[in-house]
């Protein structure tokens, strides 16, 4: 049975322009032609319905193309669906926000939000070409406003954000490479079926995403604080407070002296004499100088 393009679009629940767009992207085969009339078949209809269903799950056109061409299998499809869906532990995420709604929530002009997206500092999801934002975007923009309120110039903050974005992309891409090489590929090679592979991939994904996120967050915080201490000359917090007993010493036990009698100090080369506690002629602890004591003895 053959369909003309408008009938095919109606049966698939999409527009004629969408049909032609998918053809231009190589997702839909070209129709048979009879003169100037294009005829589509049930194969085209099934492909359109498949694309429509995958799009509804949040799949990108790139991932849809790889699935349709067989580059990704059924196990990968489950993983891609998880990546396109809500984060693990957030099965009912808040509804996405339009640019106007995000502007109202943050107090920023829609034009500035669009500019941030153009520079890659915001990465909204696209729905029919329309950007949609998350609660995470709201939190990020409010954090940026807090930094501006402390006195950081907007230009400097944007430059810092771009620098951070480049560094994070490198880290993220390398993390994905490690997952692909050491987790995804071995699981698919050793699983008895695509169903088993899908289950194991999902288990690994739900473990690795929060673990990797926590690791990066904690590391950045630690490095940031260390850089601030170094910049200000502040010492790192000591493991033990001065005068407090050591962890392995009983309360009240004397601590071992830093240098043993006659041993070279930590900052002295081996064999160099240690500097005397009191130099000749310097006041003795609780007494007169040695020279004055000698003169009195002679008198």
The span from the CA of 116 to the CA of 143, in Å, is 14
Would the pLDDT of 253 be above 50?
no
pLDDT tens per residue, range 106-159: 999 999 999 898 888 898 988 777 899 999 999 999 999 999 999 999 999 999
**pLDDT at residue 255, as a whole number:** 44
**pLDDT at residue 240, as a whole number:** 54
Share of the chain above pLDDT 90, in %: 65
**pLDDT at residue 102, as a whole number:** 97
* For range 36-40, the mean pLDDT: 93
pLDDT interval class at 265 (50, 70, 90): very low
Share of the chain above pLDDT 70, in %: 77
Sorted by where each starts, the structural domains of the chain and their CATH numbers stand as 5-72 (1.10.1660.10), 99-232 (1.10.1660.10)
Please give the residue that has the higher pLDDT: either 130 or 200. Answer: 200
Radius of gyration of the chain from its Cα atoms, rounded to whole angstroms: 35
Q: Which residue has the tokens 């201490």?
A: 229
Burial code (b: 16+ CB inside 10 Å, e: under 16) for 194-208 equals eeebbebbbeebeee
- Residue 254: count of CB within 10 angstroms of its CB: 7
Q: Rounded mean pLDDT of the chain?
A: 81
Q: What is the pTM of this model?
A: 0.68
């Amino acid at each position: 049975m053959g369909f003309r393009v408008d009938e095919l679009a109606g049966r698939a629940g999409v527009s004629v322009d969408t049909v032609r767009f998918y053809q231009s992207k190589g997702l839909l085969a070209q129709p048979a032609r009879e003169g100037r009339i294009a005829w589509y078949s049930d194969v085209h209809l099934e492909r359109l319905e498949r694309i429509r269903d995958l799009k509804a799950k949040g799949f990108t056109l790139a991932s849809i193309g790889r699935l349709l061409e067989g580059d990704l299998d059924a196990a990968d499809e489950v993983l891609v669906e998880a990546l396109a869906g809500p984060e693990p532990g957030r099965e009912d995420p808040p509804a996405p926000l339009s640019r106007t709604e995000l502007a109202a929530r943050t107090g920023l002009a829609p034009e500035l939000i669009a500019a941030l997206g153009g520079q890659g500092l915001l990465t909204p999801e696209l729905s029919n070409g329309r950007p949609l934002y998350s609660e995470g975007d709201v939190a990020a923009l409010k954090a940026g406003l807090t930094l501006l309120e402390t006195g950081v110039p907007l230009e400097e903050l944007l430059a810092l954000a771009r620098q951070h974005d480049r560094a994070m992309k490198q880290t993220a891409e390398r993390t994905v490479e490690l997952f692909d090489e050491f987790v995804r590929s071995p699981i698919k090679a050793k699983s008895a079926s695509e169903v088993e592979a899908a289950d194991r991939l999902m288990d690994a994904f739900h473990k690795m995403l929060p673990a990797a996120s926590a690791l990066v967050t904690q590391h950045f915080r630690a490095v940031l604080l260390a850089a601030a201490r170094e910049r200000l000359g502040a010492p790192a917090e000591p493991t033990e407070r001065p005068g407090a007993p050591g962890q392995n010493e009983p309360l009240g036990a004397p601590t071992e002296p830093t240098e043993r009698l006659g041993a070279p100090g930590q900052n002295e080369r081996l064999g160099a004499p240690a500097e005397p506690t009191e130099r000749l002629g310097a006041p003795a602890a609780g007494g007169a100088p040695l020279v004055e004591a000698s003169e009195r003895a002679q008198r």
